Structure 1
């Protein structure tokens, strides 16, 4: 199949490749813009990478939201006269908003497409940052955080799904991990900029990623698998051709996607019914991949990583490190570097091996940190051992972030987007993302209070949870490297 050939009725397949959904109709201006971008996206790999870089602005926004509370805690508490509990509420409200966004994300992505969902998600993010920046009391602060969270909840589901659906199978792991790499870049930017600007200016800077995302979405194609599921055959083939390159024969891939879609329609319909309901998830081909996706995403949060990242400055202060904000930024740099290594390894080492190595490293690191903080309570502050304990906790935290970034950070989202069948992806993806954010909210809400209670005890709890990830991966998580989405989903039948 060649993209340069017109269809039998003379229509040019290049025209609809930027289709956002059935609600989106091209005008002459959009068609002109589309033609120029089509010229730019001639090569398939360049096209896919360009699309990933555009949607990666969403996870950068996600990371900036996560990292914002760490360098701004002292300033916000001082300026708005907040208590520790009120600031804990502020930190956790992003997760509450994300839960609402997660509930909406699956259905939104199904009805208006992956691009349309990202477009909508960007708007509350922008409004939320502006509300935080201009807040005079806790009410605007909390409202802004909720709006940010809603956008982040939609982004956290939609971006990995979009990347998985457009990427060639030999690049899907590496491109999928760009999602988590972008999150870490957003966290690092929040830490870095927080060293130089106050919390109000930092909130204004948080507007930038989504402000750039909105126009960028007009230059990338919609997910071909979503278009195929919606029955838009012409747009589906056009989108896939742009993503693979105009000179590439896409016949085999088109046929694989069409066959799986037809099979799913016939299995799901059960007569005349074509919609998927919660009751349908009792089938093994649905509940088993959903169980794996939920298990990985929930355990990822129960490891306590968001508690560490949200309140890293406070943890460093507890460890006796004077320049806690600088140390926090250093932690962000380490996280970006380690996630970059994961991006390189994903399609080489495989998902399963990286998850096992990552979760084992996290368990050892968390145990080291908990021991260090227990020792801190019994060692005199004037002794030589006190500084050694501080170094030990710092080494443990850095090792934790490296271990998390090598697998547990990125891979659960990649696997979730790979293993869920396309006809239940909206419903099942919403459930998995909702439970991820619910767990994140519990961890974020309790982390500050737990750290006040006992730093060593807090990290002991996280150590035990991290050990559960090792067992879960060893028992149930399949290897998905080098397999097409259709092969992976057929394996659950």
Structure 2
């Protein structure tokens, strides 16, 4: 049943090859070039004000994502005490967000193709609002878990549609940086939830989750739909109007419009996309890249570490988890900003490799601290090593591994399979998130040292995977990326 939900909405015949895909795209460039030098557009010729505003509205969904993920860390003790939850019940509550997100991931591509990128974001906001209200009014585990599940479903859709929307509206020279704002707002939402959660009750913290949804719903009335989606569904008039609105009224969008239309036209001959189609030679490398990055992102331990950060600091020997949690929250935002700046300067691959190396080092230090504690060695250094390791880990994750896999996911798939491929990639991400967040407390009970050393192994494997498999996509149009991957 889940596999059937991966179906896309394209129709046509299975007779097109890479040459057929590139020919109209190249021809469109020739036509645009023949109109004279003055007709050539670059991303700097028009206004980017609407692009920036549209991105700011969309990433409210990312902020909501972060608020939801960050809710469990500062509220663990209070929730367990107020609602009399066992460790297993709280682990279920913490991980239910990932189960809901998995279902959101399964349906996200189909929903965003059927009702548009803006429609999908509206639907996500409604689910999140409903979920937060359920958490706020809960008096026991049942309503609490229902609310957590609903917010999870909402952010599962957000996790796909926000980076896709931003990538589709952005000029190529800004796409990496703007798409990275998705991760920046996720960590900002998480950091604010961490910080605010240390000073307000868990019910009040639940109400703060409503704010980004309300801002998003209001802002969507003022921004255009994705031009590429409009072109895909045949709304030519709306497509050109949206592109003009995004690039500025004085910008010449003829060349960009011709390239997009030619690419979309070439895709009309392609068959209805199915899950099995992703394993064709034309798409298998993109699938390996997208799925592989999400597997390594999650099994490096990020969701277990962030969901239960406060308790981890206490286990490491700090008198209060609040101090470590605040430091954790403060580190995320500025480092993610640095990553956003570097995204279109240094490129995707270098950021990923530096980031994965740093997360390996952070996990190793934290594992070492727990080993020393268990052996009663250098006890004065144990909290220092644990805090340093966790802060190095989150700083390293924030500069690359947090954002770059989502940016690459939004870039590497052709639009006719983007829905089914994006759903698969996001589903894998949330399956990994569920596995890590649910097992973290049990792994820590088994061996704190072993838990962090296990995560460090995955971080080391990430470096090898990026070096051998992941291409550089910096500075290329979405259409050029498709040509290079399949060359």
Determine the structure 2 residue equivalent to 1:196: 199
Determine the structure 2 residue equivalent to 1:391: 384
* 1:232 shift after superposition: 1.1
Q: Map of 1:324-403 to 2, 5 A cutoff?
A: 324-379=321-376, 385-403=378-396
Kept after mapping to 2: 8 A contact 1:284/1:492: no
Q: Determine if the alignment matches structure 1 residue 480 to structure 2 residue 473.
A: yes
Determine the structure 1 residue equivalent to 2:316: 319
Q: Determine if the alignment matches structure 1 residue 290 to structure 2 residue 287.
A: yes
Determine the structure 2 residue equivalent to 1:248: 251
* 1:388 shift after superposition: 1.2
Structure 1 moving runs of 4+ over 6 Å: none
Of 270, 275, 278, the match for 1:278: 275
Determine the structure 1 residue equivalent to 2:413: 420
Kept after mapping to 2: 8 A contact 1:106/1:430: yes
* Cα distance in 1 between the residues matched to 2:112 and 2:147: 24
Output the TM-score relative to the length of structure 1. 0.88
Determine the structure 1 residue equivalent to 2:128: 125
* 1:43 shift after superposition: 6.1
| DSSP 3-state at the match of 1:184 | helix
Kept after mapping to 2: 8 A contact 1:44/1:242: no
Q: Map of 1:218-229 to 2, 5 A cutoff?
A: 218-229=221-232
CA RMSD of aligned residues (A): 1.2
* Cα distance in 2 between the residues matched to 1:143 and 1:120: 17
Between the two proteins, the alignment pairs up a number of residues equal to 442
Tell me, which stretches of 5 or more residues in structure 2 are unaligned?
A: 1-44
| DSSP 3-state at the match of 1:285 | coil
> Deviations for 1:100-125, whole angstroms, at most 9, x for unmatched residues?
11111000011110000000000110
* Cα distance in 2 between the residues matched to 1:277 and 1:388: 54
Q: Determine if the alignment matches structure 1 residue 147 to structure 2 residue 144.
A: no
* Cα distance in 2 between the residues matched to 1:189 and 1:160: 21
> Deviations for 1:307-340, whole angstroms, at most 9, x for unmatched residues?
1100001110011111311320221110111101
Q: Determine if the alignment matches structure 1 residue 447 to structure 2 residue 440.
A: yes
Kept after mapping to 1: 8 A contact 2:118/2:220: yes
Determine the structure 2 residue equivalent to 1:60: 63
* Cα distance in 1 between the residues matched to 2:346 and 2:436: 30
Of 403, 424, 430, the match for 1:431: 424
| DSSP 3-state at the match of 1:348 | coil
Determine the structure 1 residue equivalent to 2:80: 77
Of 95, 110, 114, the match for 2:98: 95
Determine the structure 1 residue equivalent to 2:89: 86
| DSSP 3-state at the match of 1:491 | helix
Kept after mapping to 2: 8 A contact 1:66/1:187: yes
| DSSP 3-state at the match of 1:218 | coil
> Deviations for 1:154-188, whole angstroms, at most 9, x for unmatched residues?
00000000000011100001001000000001011
* 1:435 shift after superposition: 0.9
Q: Determine if the alignment matches structure 1 residue 47 to structure 2 residue 50.
A: yes
Tell me, which stretches of 5 or more residues in structure 1 are unaligned?
A: 1-41, 270-274
* 1:210 shift after superposition: 0.5
* Cα distance in 1 between the residues matched to 2:240 and 2:274: 29
| DSSP 3-state at the match of 1:44 | coil
Determine the structure 2 residue equivalent to 1:15: none
* Cα distance in 2 between the residues matched to 1:387 and 1:146: 41
* Cα distance in 2 between the residues matched to 1:371 and 1:192: 27
Deviates more, 1:347-356 or 1:254-263: 254-263
* 1:277 shift after superposition: 1.8
* 1:466 shift after superposition: 0.8
> Deviations for 1:369-394, whole angstroms, at most 9, x for unmatched residues?
111110111126xxxx3121210111
Output the TM-score relative to the length of structure 2. 0.89
